Amino acid sequence: MQKTIEFKTKPSIISTYTVAGPKESSGPIGNYIHKQLKEDTFGEKTFEKAECKMLSAAIKGSIETAKFKESEIGALFSGDLLNQIISASFSARDFDIPYIGIYSACSTMSQSIAMASSFINAGYIDNAVCATGSHFATAERQYRYPLELGCTRPPQAQWTVTGAGSCLITKHKKNFPSITKCTFGRVVDFGVIDANNMGAAMAPACADTILKHFLNTNTTPKDYDLILTGDLGTLGSRLLKELLWEKGYELYDNHVDCGEMIYTINEKEYQGASGAGCSAVVLNSFIYDKLINKKLKRILFSATGALLSTLSSQQGESIPGISHLVELEVFDE
């Protein structure tokens, strides 16, 4: 039974912090990114170490911005795209905070917010940090081809974001964006086998979760200022709209995908951005700014994950997708 969980205590996101590479920082939402890197190695010897350092910087930034001490944080919910989520685990070494490792690929940002809100709403902990990130070079190397090979990118490809985002969630605080509901997604597999076409693999899972949320809460797209999806990209976003249109919900007016927002459109990225860092950066910079300034007052955020590994693809498996959803609201208090 796929329930929508309601958080009656309305936990609030009281601070966020984002770090991103030069390409992301020079894009349309670049000015909202807290730490804009000049080079995507972040002073490290390997891209993996750079990814880990970005994530640590985001976590630290969100704690410092809120003027909290590590000892006040009850749990760190984090994960990433690398094998054995090493960026998250190795970042967690830097903090004296209980660490809850999660994996849902690029749905990590919404999964972590849903879990942290569940724990805070239940009174188990008072404060939690949610964080994730990704790096173009580590993702290409791990999932597709090493950059050195100079492979041509197909038109359905997305560009993995080099960036990390983190937010600090506490008990309800007036006038801060609050998490009021969440719907955990199911694994949905439409049989897509092209590891370059993640948008198509994830769109059905995203449609499934959003639809369940509408039904459970008796709402329609019109009830929200924005329906923000993870990193479906241009093609995936169109698929999502069509899938929901078939079910009687028209998403055209107020839907945008994080993957369509982060880069200035040019040929190389084709379908836009992807990666766990994509929705983490967009949500915790530009979107958070709109929420805190009450330009947006009620939104759905449904990040989307493609649950493949190179090995599963090599063994001929298709790419299952997942999407976890959180509802964010800010009130006039």
Q: Are 263 and 272 in contact (CB under 8 A)?
A: yes
What's the half-sphere exposure (Cβ side, CA atoms, 13 Å) at 156? 15
Among 105, 157, 201, 243, binds its own copies (CB under 8 A): 105
- Nearest approach, Cβ of residue 33 and its own copies (Å): 27
In the list 41, 65, 189, 190, the residue contacting its own copies (rule: CB under 8 A) is 189
Q: In whole angstroms, what is the distance from residue 327 CA to residue 168 CA?
A: 16
Residues from 67 through 86 that contact its own copies (CB under 8 A): 71-75, 79, 81-86
Query: Of the ranges 1-9, 144-152, 218-226, 279-287, which one interacts with its own copies (CB under 8 A)?
Result: 1-9
Cβ-proximal residues to 111 (8 Å cutoff; 6+ apart), any chain = 77, 79, 102, 104, 184, 303, 324
Residue in 289, 73, 297, 287 with CA at minimum distance from that of residue 170 = 73
DSSP classification of residue 153: P
Question: What letter does residue 188 receive in the DSSP assignment?
Answer: B
CB of 2 to its own copies, least distance (A): 5
Report residue 273 as tokens: 């951005």
Interface with its own copies includes 194 (CB under 8 A)?
A: no
Site string for its own copies, 208-227 (x = CB under 8 A): --------------------
Cα separation, 17 vs 15, in Å, equals 7
Site string for its own copies, 310-329 (x = CB under 8 A): xxx--x-x--x-x-------
Piece of the chain touching its own copies by CB under 8 A; list 98-106, 150-158, 168-176, 233-241: 98-106
187 binds its own copies (CB under 8 A): yes
Distance CA 107, CA 323 (A): 6
CA distance 142 to 264: 25
CB 333 within 8 A of CB 174: yes
Instruction: Determine which residue in the list 17, 32, 42, 119 makes contact with its own copies, applying CB under 8 A.
Output: 119
Interface pattern 26-65 for its own copies (x via CB under 8 A): --------------------x-xx----------------
Q: Measured between alpha carbons, how far is 269 from 158 in angstroms, rounded to an integer?
A: 6
- Which residue among 25, 111, 237, 302 contacts its own copies (CB under 8 A)? 111
256 by Cβ neighbours in 10 Å (0-12 / 13-18 / 19+) ranks as middle
Residue 124 touching its own copies (CB under 8 A): yes
Binds its own copies by CB under 8 A, chosen from 101, 217, 289, 297: 101
Per rule CB under 8 A, count of chain residues that contact its own copies: 57
Tokens of 38: 């000049």
For its own copies, the closer of residues 194 and 289 by Cβ is: 194
Q: Would you say 15 or 110 has its CB closer to its own copies?
A: 110
Restricted to residues 285-304, the positions that interact with its own copies (CB under 8 A) are: none
Q: Are residues 324 and 132 in contact, defined by beta-carbon separation less than 8 angstroms? A: no
Shortest distance, position 243 Cβ to its own copies, whole Å: 18
**DSSP category for residue 275:** S
Beta-bridge partners for 301: 228, 326
Residues in the site for its own copies, rule: CB under 8 A?
1-3, 5, 46, 48-49, 71-75, 79, 81-86, 89-90, 92-93, 96-105, 111, 115, 118-119, 121-122, 124-125, 183-187, 189, 307-312, 315, 317, 320, 322
